Amino acid sequence: MQSLPDSLIAAAQQLASAVDALAFDEPTTHIYNPLRYAWAPHEDYLRRYGGAPKKVLFMGMNPGPFGMAQSGVPFGEIEHVRDWLGIEAKVEKPANEHPKRPIEGFACGRSEVSGRRLWGAFKARFGRAEDFFAEHFVVNYCPLVFMEASGKNRTPDKMNASETAPLYAACDQHLRGVVELLQPEWLIGVGAFAEGRAKAALAGHELRFGRILHPSPASPAANRGWAEQATRQLVDIGIWHAEH
C-alpha cells in the first residue's frame, strides 16, 4: 500500500502533467511550473510534512515569483523554507525563462512578502515547524506562475474563462485528491479567490470552510498587522484558541 507522502507526490506529478498540457493566450507569454524545475524541494516538503492526516488545510492561489517559483514550496519565502522548514534542494531552470524573472532557487536574494508573513506568523505561534504541521498543512490551488511580456505577474483570476476552465478542472481534481488523502476538518482559503475555488471544487464534501486575509503587500489591509488579523480570524472561526 502506498504511503501518504507517496500518494501526495503521485498526485502532484499528475497535476504537473495535466497543467503542462494546457495552452494560454496573450497577454500571458511565459509560464513557470515549479512542480517540474523545483521538484526536489517540493517533494521534500511533501515527504517531510505530509505524513499524516491534518485538521486544517490552508490553500493559496498560485506561486509568487519570489516564493514557490524559487523554492518549490507553497508561499515559499527562501529564508523560512531553508531555516524553519529545513528544506533546501537543487532547483533547475524553467524551459522558457523570462529575463526579468530569473529562477535562482535558494540563491534568490528577494524575499516573498506574502510567504514571510504567512510562515512568520506560524513560526511565531508554534515555534517548531513540526508542531505546526502536526495539525496543519499548506497547499496552492494552481501550481503555475503566469507572466506577461513585461515580466508582470498574471494571476488566474484575471484570465478568460476559456483558459481557466481546463486549468480549474485539473486543479479541482488535484485538490479533491489532497483532501481525500489528508482528511482535513477545515479548508482555509488564503484570500477570497482561494476560498471560492475550494468551495466550488469540494461541494458535497464534509468539510468546513473559512478564509483569512491574503498577506500580499498589494492589499492595504494586509499591511496593517497581517499576522494579528489572520490570527484573530482563525480564533473567531474556532480553529485556534486565543493566547493569553
Which tens digits make up the pLDDT trace of 160-199? 999 999 999 999 999 999 999 999 999 999 999 999 999 9
In a domain, 244, yes or no: no
| 244 pLDDT above the threshold of 50 | no
In a domain, 56, yes or no: yes
In a domain, 243, yes or no: no
pTM of the predicted model as reported, rounded to 2 decimal places: 0.97
Cα 183 off chain centre by: 18
Query: Is the distance from CB of 187 to CB of 179 less than 8 angstroms?
Result: yes
In a domain, 149, yes or no: yes
How many domains is the chain partitioned into structurally? 1
In a domain, 242, yes or no: no
Average pLDDT over residues 104-115: 97
Q: 141: domain CATH number? A: 3.40.470.10
| 155 pLDDT above the threshold of 70 | yes
Query: Is the distance from CB of 221 to CB of 213 less than 8 angstroms?
Result: yes
For residue 107, the enclosing domain spans 4-237
In a domain, 51, yes or no: yes
- The CA-to-CA distance between both ends of the chain, in Å, stands at 44
In a domain, 124, yes or no: yes
How far is it, in rounded angstroms, from Cα 187 to Cα 55? 9
Q: State the pLDDT at residue 243.
A: 76
